[in-house]
């Protein structure tokens, strides 16, 4: 073996912050930008993605001795597509309004590079336990990333958080309100700007930590 | 005349108003990954347009003849097996799996064709060509064409092949326009003094945000133009 692969515990912890799927690996950008206009759809998306990621990792890890190199990606995609169909049917059956809000972004989980990448990096090389802990860790990291972006966008864009009033929004019923919602935040440009700035913040913090560690040595 | 106006408006809406990248956030990976040089970006855009057209045609055909409720081929097969049954066959649950198969197949086809006839282009694409399979823009366009509800255009029933093709080509061209503009800006950005933490993807996303703000200016152009022309 050329290099030692990380253990289950390392995989789990790495997924949350050091190898955060969105901020550090830049994976799964489409849902990150598209569904973070408010907290509720973002968290539903995280749930669906986590379900697909965990199930697909288990299956890929179980069949890894049978995988042929040139058919690998096709097998991954078909496994993922099956679980996405299940998640989509479930959302349509029990959360009809949410399923309509998310629209085509639920089937687009199939081509979320996060899932294919984790299947390739971890699922197809390591055992089931490691694959599950990696999938759970990455899902938590995805959750942290989407929650941070959706919080910024929902609070600044509509003055609410999970639909609860946070800032006193100025309107006809509430003339004393001081906050004018930045409607651009819930529209497409707000998504790009928020993610760009948060990414800069994370990089800045990581850089500072690295310099501090270098100085301490 | 009305059909011509419809087609024109649909194309305009797909290219500029409902731009795949800047309004629906699909195809972000190549948009950020392959937008460092204009010629590469343009080539990528053309490859995506080509694949999107093939995949959209094939997935439209599958939806129309096999997957939709009461589609001719699946009904014929069902009745050959159960001659007494009058049930309506609905295979639309399988559409995600079929679409992704169709897309993977068309990408493979394009890859073989480009490798045989344009070896230099094949070399310059490198790893990006197979990655078109996981480009969400293509699956998004197939889903839009396959579903009864269409964004930006009022349609109560599924589109015919003509409209589907116009939407697919328009979407691909919109992607090309967006990624080429982005690459042009990023070539200039190399000469600018960007804060260290924003270098690379951070500043690219902020530029994309401003670009998307500019493209929002097209909102409503199709309605006004439609009123004028009809």
Check whether B157 has a pLDDT greater than 80: no
Over range A201-217, report the average pLDDT: 85
A37/A27 Cα distance (integer angstroms): 19
By percentage, how much of chain B surpasses pLDDT 90?
9
User: Quick one: tokens of B173?
Assistant: 């061209």
Q: Are B148 and B39 in contact (CB under 8 A)?
A: no
- Report the candidate in B140, B167, B143, B55 with the shortest Cα–Cα distance to residue B104: B55
Angle, CA of B187, A21 and A67, to the nearest 5°:
105
What pLDDT does B148 receive?
A: 52
Over range B131-158, report the average pLDDT: 70
Q: H or E element: which one contains A165?
A: strand A164-165
Q: Do A200 and B197 lie within an 8 Å CB cutoff?
A: yes
Q: Give the number of other CB atoms < 10 A from CB of residue B110.
A: 17
Check whether B152 has a pLDDT greater than 50: no
Nearest-neighbour CA in chain B from A35: distance (Å): 10
User: Quick one: tokens of B109?
Assistant: 């086809």
- Report the candidate in A153, A192, A181, A189 with the shortest Cα–Cα distance to residue B217: A189
C-alpha Rg value of chain B to the nearest Å? 20
Q: Are B121 and B43 in contact (CB under 8 A)?
A: yes
Q: Are A193 and B187 in contact (CB under 8 A)?
A: no
Q: Do A196 and B133 lie within an 8 Å CB cutoff?
A: no
Cβ-Cβ pairs closer than 8 A, A with B, add up to 115
Whether the CB of B217 is below 8 Å from some CB of chain A: the reply is: no
By percentage, how much of chain B surpasses pLDDT 70?
93
Nearest-neighbour CA in chain B from A120: distance (Å): 14
Q: Are B14 and B151 in contact (CB under 8 A)?
A: no
Tell me the pLDDT band of A58, cut-offs 50, 70 and 90.
Answer: very high
Segment A165-184, tens digit of pLDDT: 777 777 777 776 777 778 88
What pLDDT does B160 receive?
A: 78
Burial label for B31, CB within 10 Å (0-12, 13-18, 19+), is buried
Name the residue facing B213 among A108, A189, A204 (closest C-beta).
Answer: A189
A8/A137 Cα distance (integer angstroms): 10
Q: Are B205 and A201 in contact (CB under 8 A)?
A: no
Check whether A199 has a pLDDT greater than 80: yes
Q: Give the number of other CB atoms < 10 A from CB of residue B17.
A: 20
Segment B56-114, tens digit of pLDDT: 899 888 888 888 877 888 888 888 888 887 778 888 888 888 988 888 888 888 888 87
- Residues in chain A with CB shorter than 8 Å from the CB of B133 are 73, 77, 111
B35/B26 Cα distance (integer angstroms): 15
Distances (CA, A) of A109 to A46, A72, B20, B142: 10, 18, 17, 14
Segment B158-179, tens digit of pLDDT: 677 888 888 899 999 999 999 9
What pLDDT does A1 receive?
A: 40
Distances (CA, A) of B26 to A4, A68, A156, B68, B219: 36, 30, 24, 25, 19
B41/B177 Cα distance (integer angstroms): 9
CA atoms within 13 A on the CB side of B40: 19
Q: Are B175 and B42 in contact (CB under 8 A)?
A: no
- Residues in chain B with CB shorter than 8 Å from the CB of A116 are 134
Distances (CA, A) of A59 to A1, A203, B84, B94: 24, 34, 40, 20
Whether the CB of B201 is below 8 Å from some CB of chain A: the reply is: yes
Whether the CB of B163 is below 8 Å from some CB of chain A: the reply is: no
Over range A57-85, report the average pLDDT: 86
Structure ipTM over 0.90, yes or no: no
Q: Do B25 and A33 lie within an 8 Å CB cutoff?
A: yes
What pLDDT does B217 receive?
A: 86
């Amino acid at each position: 073996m050329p290099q030692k692969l990380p253990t289950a515990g390392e995989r789990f912890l790495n997924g949350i912050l050091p190898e955060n799927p969105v901020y550090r690996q830049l994976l799964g950008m489409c849902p990150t930008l598209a569904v973070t206009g408010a907290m509720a759809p973002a968290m539903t998306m995280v749930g669906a993605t986590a379900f697909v990621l965990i199930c697909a990792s288990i299956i890929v890890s179980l069949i890894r001795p049978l995988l042929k190199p040139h058919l690998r990606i096709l097998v991954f995609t078909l496994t993922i597509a099956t679980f996405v169909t299940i998640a989509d049917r479930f959302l349509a059956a029990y959360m009809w309004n949410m399923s309509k809000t998310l629209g085509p972004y639920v089937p687009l989980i199939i081509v979320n590079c996060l899932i294919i990448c984790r299947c390739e990096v971890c699922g197809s090389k390591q055992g089931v336990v490691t694959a599950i802990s990696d999938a759970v860790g990455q899902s938590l990291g995805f959750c942290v990333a989407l929650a941070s972006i959706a919080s910024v966008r929902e609070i600044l864009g509509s003055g609410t958080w999970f639909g609860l009033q946070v800032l006193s929004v100025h309107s006809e019923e509430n003339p004393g309100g001081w906050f004018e919602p930045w409607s651009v935040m819930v529209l497409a440009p707000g998504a790009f700007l928020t993610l760009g700035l948060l990414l800069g913040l994370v990089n800045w913090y990581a850089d500072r930590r690295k310099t501090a560690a270098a100085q301490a040595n | 005349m009305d059909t011509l106006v419809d087609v024109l408006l649909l194309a305009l809406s797909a290219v500029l108003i409902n731009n795949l990248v800047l309004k629906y956030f699909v195809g972000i990976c190549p948009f950020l990954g392959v937008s460092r040089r204009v010629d590469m970006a343009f080539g990528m855009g053309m490859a995506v347009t080509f694949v999107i057209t093939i995949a959209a045609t094939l997935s439209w055909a599958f939806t129309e003849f096999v997957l939709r409720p009461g589609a001719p081929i699946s009904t014929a097969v069902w009745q050959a097996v159960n001659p007494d049954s009058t049930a309506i066959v609905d295979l639309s649950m399988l559409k995600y799996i079929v679409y992704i198969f169709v897309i993977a197949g068309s990408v493979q086809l394009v890859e073989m064709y480009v490798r045989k006839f344009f070896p230099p282009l094949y070399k310059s694409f490198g790893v990006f060509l197979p990655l078109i399979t996981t480009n969400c823009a293509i699956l998004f366009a197939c889903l839009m064409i396959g579903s009864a509800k269409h964004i930006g255009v009022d349609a109560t029933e599924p589109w015919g092949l003509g409209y589907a093709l116009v939407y697919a080509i328009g979407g691909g061209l919109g992607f090309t326009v967006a990624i080429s503009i982005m690459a042009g800006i990023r070539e200039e950005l190399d000469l600018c003094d960007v804060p260290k933490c924003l270098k690379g993807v951070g500043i690219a996303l902020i530029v994309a945000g401003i670009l998307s703000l500019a493209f929002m200016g097209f909102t409503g152009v199709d309605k006004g133009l439609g009123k004028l022309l009809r």
